[in-house]
Amino acid sequence: MKEFLEETVHSSKYWVMEGHIASYIPRLATANKKHVGIGVYTVDNQYHSAGDTNIKFSIQSVCKVFSLICALKDSGLEKLLMKVDVEPSGDRFNSLVKLETMQNHRPLNPFINAGAIATIGMIRARNAEERFNKVLQILRDMTNNDNLTYNQEVYESEKETGDTNKAIAYYLKGAGILEENVDDILDTYFKICSMEAGIEDMARAAAVIANDGSIPWNGNQLISKEDTKIVRAIMATSGLYDGSGEFSVKVGIPAKSGVGGCIIGAAPNKMGIATFGPSLNEKGNSIAGIRMFQSLSKEYQLSVF
């Protein structure tokens, strides 16, 4: 497999100069377009990687997988569905447009910004710190890495530039979707977007999702099988913003991307995959990441469809 991964990293590099780097905050804008890496963590506990695998990156929207897992654990699907739907949006990740027109004002799914903010409101906690720590802890448990945390500089920039997210959160509060303190929820949202990790960390987290919530390296059932199935289903339908349909057709692996350049994917009962490549296409998805997922899916027949 190592050889195949080296080859796929090499061929995906050909396309990266075409894209753009997320530049809405200074720290993300310093990423190198040419960096490309991939890690695969199998459910039978083996790890293979290739390319630029030692870089720590901002996980950005990939964090929405972890907030969803926490909300499902704390509130369960039925309660969550009262606040957020599970339908693909077809709009940009930070769109506000359907909030007013949808019945009950529920955001369309937990992976667009509005949906993630509503989902964070369903994580039970006494304050913002406890809520953030729950998400960080699930990330640490799923990666076997207690050193992971958020980047202070990214967090402060997220907060400073996050006017659209603030508008979304206040709208949700006005519509009765958010019941908690808006600033507390936003604080958790900005912090979890700023969490940093590496390729192996994210491949491990994806492997837990691929392995029905059971941790490949110690056999503990961290997330229930049912919840993991829900997470994979939402990843398959809404994981790549308004590029989710094409990704399902061409790759067919439940996945979640972030504008930091990471994509995680969970091939059920087979492997967790993490790719990194900060050069993004017009929909905000990693160009090299999509290419690598495509070739891996084809080579190992990973499409769930």
259 given a catalytic annotation: yes
Respond yes or no: is residue 24 known to be catalytic.
no
The residue from 95, 241, 244, 270 that is catalytic is 241
Query: Containing H/E element for 47?
Result: strand 47-51
The reply to whether 132 sits near ligand GLU by the rule CB under 6 A is: no
- Per-residue x/- track, 151-190, ligand GLU (CB under 6 A): -------x------x-------------------------
Question: 208 an active-site residue?
Answer: no
Site for ligand GLU in 95-124 (CB under 6 A): 113
Per CB under 6 A, the list member of 43, 99, 207, 259 interacting with ligand GLU is: 259
In whole angstroms, give the CA distance from residue 272 to residue 277: 17
Minimal distance in Å, beta carbon 21 to ligand GLU? 13
We find the least distance from the C-beta atom of residue 148 to ligand GLU, in angstroms, to be: 17
Residue with smaller CB distance to ligand GLU, 5 or 108: 108
Site residues for ligand GLU, 41-70, by CB under 6 A, read 60-61
For residue 93, state whether it binds ligand GLU (rule: CB under 6 A): yes
Whole-number Å distance between alpha carbons of 235 and 64 = 10
Residue selected from 11, 32, 45, 94 as contacting ligand GLU according to rule CB under 6 A: 94
Judged by beta carbon, residue 8 or residue 151, the one nearer ligand GLU is 151
61 catalytic? Reply is yes
Regarding 212 and contact with ligand GLU (CB under 6 A), the answer is no
Rounded Cα distance, 41 and 204, in Å: 6
Least separation, in Å, of the C-beta of 257 and ligand GLU? Answer: 7
Residue of 49, 150, 189, 214 marked catalytic: 189
Whether 189 is a known active-site residue: answer yes
> Which residues participate in catalysis according to the annotation?
61, 64, 189, 241, 259
Binding site for ligand GLU (CB under 6 A): 60-61, 93-94, 113, 158, 165, 193, 258-259, 284
